[in-house]
Amino acid sequence: MKLLVCYDGSDCSEAAIDDLARAGLPDKGEALVISVAEVWLPPPNPDENGAETKLDAKVEAIVQKHRERAEKAVAEAFSLANRAKQRLQNTLPHWEISAEATYGSPAWEVLTNAETFKPDLIVAGSHGHSAFSRFILGSISQKILTEAHCSVRVARGRVEVDPTPTRLVIGFDNSKGAEAAVEAVAARNWRDETEVRLVTAANPLIPSVIGGVIPSIAHFVEETNESEHEWIEKSAEKAMSLLRQSGLKTSLHIYTGNPKHILVKEAESWNADCIFVGANAFGSRVEKFLIGSTSSAVAAHAHCSVEVVRK
């Protein structure tokens, strides 16, 4: 497994590293920690022959001043990345971990490095602010979440006095995205006694005022809603079997309403460690989990970590 960890020195990025201890990661893998200095580094000014062209003395002084500041910022970012590397090595002692620093737009630099490094998972804090970069859901983290070609974990740490069994919520709608989320969870190396809840948000038919007083219509609506629940339970059997084969305690929970709210509420009331949501859940008869709506909303409002899964 390969991880790309975004780190900016903020409390949120520190919490994201702590969170990986409960992410079910394998014993061995490869990780790259990247810190981005959000500065402009003036490039050389070559002439047509490739040699540097001399600028006006005043302009040269300004450019040099900017360059010195930017180079200092990049050096400090590299120091941050190395610090994060050491912390991550304590959590993942058998992993091969490297650290890099760059400059520019944090979101695009992370995405550019992802194209080269090809991680299975990008890890970013839910938000943060430092002299080097800002990971704020709705801007940078949102950009990473929507533009990345791999899974993205918006990580939030938790204060843990005594170790407790890991609790996971999976948004389930029998779509390809939900299937990917289930497979991602089943493939991880979880602690003993880890529990999983498959959570479905169904949209039941509601009879109109007239329909409510006409027995035939009311009966039709009731039967349709019952068959909807039966269909959900039937479609979840394969997913639950796969999770149980991986040693996970698994249960199915069906609610009525908007998945954006239901997933967050369920995770909070159950004190879950992470919500797993498929990025491309289309074509379901129940409420859809869309990257532009539900996944982003859950990632923004959940009290715990949220992992948006792409195959």
Query: Is residue 15 located within the same domain as residue 135?
Result: yes
**Maximum distance among all Cα pairs of the chain, rounded to whole angstroms:** 90
- Residue 218 inside a domain? The answer is yes
Q: Is the pLDDT of residue 47 over 80?
A: no
Contact 124, 16 (CB under 8 A): yes
* Helix-, strand-, coil-residue percentages of the chain, each rounded to 5: 45, 20, 35
The pLDDT of residue 58:
67
- Residue 188 inside a domain? The answer is yes
For residue 91 the two structure tokens come to 């959590």
- Residue 162 inside a domain? The answer is no
Query: Is residue 8 located within the same domain as residue 143?
Result: yes
- Residue 161 inside a domain? The answer is no
Query: Is residue 108 located within the same domain as residue 225?
Result: no
Domain boundary among 130, 155, 180: 155
CB-CB neighbours of 26 under 10 Å: 12
- Residue 300 inside a domain? The answer is yes
Cα separation, 95 vs 243, in Å, equals 26
pLDDT band (50, 70, 90) for residue 248: very high
CA distances from 159 to 19, 82, 156, 198, 270 (A): 10, 24, 10, 25, 16
**Mean per-residue pLDDT over the chain, rounded:** 81
For residue 217 the two structure tokens come to 């219509």
Domain boundary among 155, 180, 211: 155
Q: Is the pLDDT of residue 207 over 70?
A: no
pLDDT band (50, 70, 90) for residue 63: low
Q: How many CA atoms lie within 13 A of 211 on its CB side?
A: 10
Higher pLDDT, 118 or 145: 118
Mean pLDDT of 180-189: 96
Least confident of 5-14, 45-54, 266-275, 291-300: 45-54
Query: Is residue 188 located within the same domain as residue 236?
Result: yes
- Give the residue numbers spanning the domain of 232: 167-309
Looking at the chain, the whole-number percentage of residues with pLDDT higher than 90 is 50
Nearest to 17 by CA among 74, 73, 81, 75: 81
- Residue 19 inside a domain? The answer is yes
- Residue 183 inside a domain? The answer is yes
Cα separation, 77 vs 133, in Å, equals 9
**pTM of the full predicted structure?**
0.81
CA pseudo-torsion sign 286, 287, 291, 295: negative
Query: Is residue 178 located within the same domain as residue 149?
Result: no
Query: Is residue 116 located within the same domain as residue 184?
Result: no
Domain tally, the chain: 2
pLDDT in tens, 265-294: 999 999 999 999 998 643 344 444 444 468
Q: What is the CATH number of the domain that holds 127?
A: 3.40.50.620
> Dihedral angle at the C-alpha atoms of 24, 29, 30, 34, nearest 10 degrees?
10
Query: Is residue 181 located within the same domain as residue 87?
Result: no
- Residue 9 inside a domain? The answer is yes
The pLDDT of residue 230:
81
